[in-house]
């Protein structure tokens, strides 16, 4: 099985580096990092990752606009998105919204770095042992 490629969009470079290291070291995935949604959209179109991990905050319109724009681009419209958030409110969004924009899940912080890859694999239906 080919190695999975993920795009992590996180505005804090230090936290992004930790998440990238965890996903690379513990799951063996290739993880690219973008520090803004605009940069992330460009990378997603060019690289076509297997999934996008997007850090969002409640009330942050940038994340919503990113997901909507991602779905309008033929090259990226099928890429699953997993949200990382500090606010439980994101995880409470109606399933219809998640389905409409192909949001696989919302993982609420605080993150357990050792379990993050397991959580992502579970929501995306990936086998970590393959």
CA 125, CA 130: separation in Å to the nearest integer? 12
Give the mean pLDDT of the chain: 82
Report if residue 18 sits inside a domain. Answer: yes
CA 109, CA 106: separation in Å to the nearest integer? 10
Range of the domain at 48: 5-124
pLDDT tens for residues 19-68? 999 999 999 999 999 988 889 999 999 999 999 999 876 455 677 788 88
The sign of the dihedral angle between the CA atoms of 120, 77, 73, 105 is: negative
Report if residue 130 sits inside a domain. Answer: no
Give the distance between the most distant pair of CA atoms in the chain: 39
Count: domains in the chain: 1
Mean pLDDT for 58-86 is 82
Looking at residue 113, which CATH number applies to its domain? Answer: 3.40.50.2300
Residue 69 burial by Cβ neighbours in a 10 Å radius (0-12, 13-18, 19+): middle
User: Count of residues for the chain?
Assistant: 130
- Is this model's pTM higher than 0.95 or not? no
């Amino acid at each position: 099985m080919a190695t999975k490629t993920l795009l992590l969009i996180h505005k804090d470079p230090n936290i992004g580096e930790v998440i990238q290291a965890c996903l690379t070291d513990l799951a063996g995935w290739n993880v690219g990092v973008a520090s803004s949604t605009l940069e992330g959209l460009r990378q997603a179109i060019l690289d076509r990752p297997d999934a996008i991990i997007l850090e969002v905050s409640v009330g942050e319109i940038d994340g919503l606009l990113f997901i909507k724009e991602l779905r309008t681009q033929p090259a990226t419209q099928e890429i699953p998105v997993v949200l990382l958030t500090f606010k439980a409110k994101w995880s409470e969004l109606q399933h219809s919204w998640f389905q409409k924009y192909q949001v696989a899940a919302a993982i609420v912080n605080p993150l357990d770095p050792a379990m993050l890859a397991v959580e992502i694999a579970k929501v995306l239906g990936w086998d970590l042992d393959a």
